Amino acid sequence: MAKTKKTKTTYKNLLLVESPAKAKTINKYLGSDFKVLATVGHIIDLPKSSLAVDVENNYEPQYETIYGKGKIIQELKRAVPKGGNVYLAMDLDREGEAIAWHVKNALKLKNPKRVTFNEITKDAVNKAVADAGKIDDNLVEAQKARRILDRLVGYKLSEIIWKKVWYGLSAGRVQSVALRLIVEKEEEREAFKSEEFWDFGVVVKDSDGNDLTAKLKTKDGKKYVPVDSKEVKDLEKLLGKSNYTVVDVVERERKKRPYPPLTTSKLQQSGHIAFGFTSKRTMGIAQALYQAGHITYMRTDSTNLSMKAIKEIRKLVGEKYGKEYLPEKPMFYKTKSKGAQEAHEAIRPTNFSMTKEDVAKKFGNAEAKLYDLIWRRAVSSQVAPKRAKVLTVKIQAKDVADPKYIFSLGGEMTLFDGFRRILGGGKAQEDLSEITKIVKGDELKKVKFETEQKFTQPPARFNEASLVKMLEKLGIGRPSTYASIISTIQARGYVEREGKTLFPTDVGRVVTNFLRGSFKRLVDYEYTAKVEDELDDIAEGKIDYVPFIDSQYKPLMKEIKVADKEVDKKDVVILGKAKGEKCPECKGSMVVRVGRYGKFLSCAKFPECKGMKDLSGGEEALDFKKYFKPKECPKCKAKMVLKNGKYGKFWACEKYPECKTTMPMLLVEKCPECKEHLVERRSKWGKIFIGCSGYPKCKYIKKAKKKEKK
């Protein structure tokens, strides 16, 4: 029997990327001389269980192989062709550069070639391979500096928070600043005092009998808004039945330039506003589109488009929409983001002939929606401006010369839709035909006054879009960090979502108050932005790693030492005084404290007096027509009392800790199959449903009522 020969390596070059999806796409573009494999993300990182930074030895990181990646490293080592080349084609940002550096060291590669491209297309990949260079050590240093600084701050800050607040909480360098923004917005809302104001308008009739509504704008040349009903009544009395004279007619043409193509932050904002996507979901979808070769690199703060892309867009616009939609010259945009350098081109399709329908067939509706948004923003950025006719008519009461009240009416009419033809949206247009005949000096007959009482509204809470916009404006974080910042503060329980808006939890407030009190430097907006600038300087080789980390770590340790000495743990969790509440034990005053499971009232003399009261609502707040109230403990027959825990309210024996019996919040309604009480449960997707408390013996689930069609 003949011996089986070992198969020889048929390729001369090994190209490594982070993602199997990316590897699959690139594999189609390279010949048989190449083998493409994936590291599946980072292969080396700091261990989670320890600080892993040698602060006495130039802050050297103590990296280790990520669990499960040892096997991948061995496979990659075996795949290295003898006498061939190894290309490291990780993403073109600092994170990608760091992965390439780690792979080089783990595989003990002597002269690997660094490959970067902005899009995964055949031409781009082959050109990048032909122009391969070396790993950029400055970018690697910048990523290391961010990783080490975040580890030092997070680890040391969390230690003091465990000690001064409670165990298990944590804090991060940039996340804590984002949390502060949300907390301060909520404080601003709570301090807001609503003020009354009135909309005041007059309905007039023109010579053709058309009713037109004009709004009060100014009084003696200054903006004027009535502030109460008395002012409104006085104004109505003063103006009386007077007709109105047209004192001015202004007609002008307004041009609106197109918006630039999308950057990372604008993509996240638009995805949230248009589709309700979280930043994390938007970036996940964009990553899939990029790795499949359909869009350019999705982590960028540049608004540039390559000349090749601009030529393709101009050709498409001219052929599909007409020459009138093409501006004489290409449109260029200034990048507003501070320190923009993560990539050198905005997010755009790699093939403009690919439609959202094509993407929907390959991926799904969510991917198609985001792709279409990217396509429309990129294409419309090279289309002629929108032109509109704006008409404003100003009128004044004929019989009242002093004071001089000016009312205004008018509107806007599109003359040429321009870039809006592709992008869509924009303001609803008004029919100006009724007022185009009005000229200065015309008299308009008064029909009636129209008034409406209104109140000023508190500033809106942040949603993900507005938070990303603010972080970018302040220079906090970079394109690749926005999504993780927002998801992290929610995962830690510091921020919750109400509809699309974000608001701080009590725990989030406690952490922020502690940091603002003892670590002002760390949560200062300007300081955090300055750190980002210094990380950029490291990437450009202007600042060295060790002095930078030194300048951050040593002040931190001094602040921790002071906080450890001066901050009293019992004072940290106090949110404020409880007005009108007396301690049930000593009849003294009470304060609002925050515990692991929410707010409660505690005696101001704690720990001398341990009197406390539930603030989340006791038995009196329960609807016993809906919820079952146990008569006694099923084990010891003692009274069952209502408690508040990590997962909400529950019943517990009053003799705890002698008796540890607990019961969930059962419903009065019983299971139709086994007659046990039903109970509200939460699915792993976060939805509330009603099932049998006898689960798993009884698996009955109550069907939700279908919503009636309107």
Which part of the chain is CATH 1.10.460.10?
145-191+460-569
Is residue 348 a contact partner of residue 309, using CB atoms and an 8 Å limit? yes
The pLDDT of residue 478 is: 82
**CATH code linked to domain 145-191+460-569:** 1.10.460.10
Q: How many CA atoms lie within 13 A of 431 on its CB side?
A: 4
Q: What is the structure's pLDDT at 165?
A: 85
Position 597 scores a pLDDT of: 60
The pLDDT value recorded for residue 319 is: 95
What ranges make up the beta strands (E) of 296-437? 386-397, 405-416
Judge contact between 399 and 237, C-beta under 8 A: no
Which helix or strand (DSSP H or E) is residue 497 part of? strand 495-498
Q: What share of the chain is helix, strand, coil (3-state, %, to 5)?
A: 35, 25, 40
Catalytic positions, please?
A: 297
Q: Which residue has the higher pLDDT, 370 or 696?
A: 370
Q: What digits encode the pLDDT tens for the residues 540-564?
A: 999 999 999 999 999 999 999 999 9
Contact 109, 80 (CB under 8 A): yes
pLDDT value for 620: 56
More confident position, 125 or 426: 125
Comparing 651 with 201, the larger pLDDT belongs to: 201
Where does the pLDDT of residue 706 fall: very low under 50, low under 70, confident under 90, or very high at 90 and above? low
Instruction: Please check the confidence at residue 333 and state whether its pLDDT lies above 60.
Output: yes
- The DSSP element (H or E) to which 250 belongs, if any, is strand 244-256
pLDDT at 409 over 60: yes
Model pLDDT, residue 91 = 93
pLDDT value for 617? 53
pLDDT band at 338 (very low <50, low <70, confident <90, very high): low
What pLDDT is recorded for position 499?
A: 84
For residues 405-428, give the mean pLDDT.
Answer: 90
Residue 576: what pLDDT? 75
For the stretch 339-364, pLDDT in tens is 554 457 999 999 999 999 999 999 99
Task: Render pLDDT for 585-637 as a digit per residue (tens, 0 to 9).
Answer: 888 888 888 776 667 788 888 888 888 776 655 565 677 888 998 989 999 99
Which secondary-structure segment (H or E) carries 515? helix 506-518
Say yes or no: domain 264-380 is CATH 3.40.605.10.
Answer: no
DSSP H/E element including 246 = strand 244-256
Mean pLDDT of 28-46: 94
> pLDDT tens across 377-397, in order?
999 999 999 999 999 999 999
Task: Tell me the C-alpha distance between 381 and 313, whole Å.
Answer: 9
- Dump pLDDT digits (tens) for 662-689: 999 999 999 999 999 999 887 765 567 8
For position 575, what pLDDT does the model report?
A: 77
Q: What is the pLDDT of residue 4?
A: 40
- Count the Cβ atoms, other than its own, within 10 Å of residue 310: 18
Note the pLDDT of residue 5.
Answer: 44
| Phi, psi dihedral angles at 491 (to 5 degrees) | -60, -30
Residue 133 pLDDT:
95
Q: Residues spanned by CATH 1.10.290.10 within the chain?
A: 264-380
Residues 6+ apart with CB under 8 A from 5: none
For 692, other C-beta atoms within 10 Å of its C-beta total 23
pLDDT score, position 466: 96
Please identify which residue in the block is written with the tokens 């590669």: 109
Report how far residue 404's alpha carbon sits from residue 550's, in angstroms, rounded to the nearest whole number.
66
Q: What is the mean pLDDT of the chain?
A: 90
User: So what's the pLDDT on residue 428?
Assistant: 66
Domain 13-135: which CATH class?
alpha beta
Q: Which of 372, 397, 380, 299 is nearest to 340 (CA)?
A: 299
196-255+389-455: CATH class = mainly beta
Q: Residue 248: CB partners within 8 Å, gap ≥ 6?
A: 392, 393, 394, 440
- Spatial distance between the Cα atoms of 670 and 702, rounded to a whole number of angstroms: 11
Please write the tens of the pLDDT for every residue from 89-113.
Answer: 999 999 999 999 999 999 999 999 9
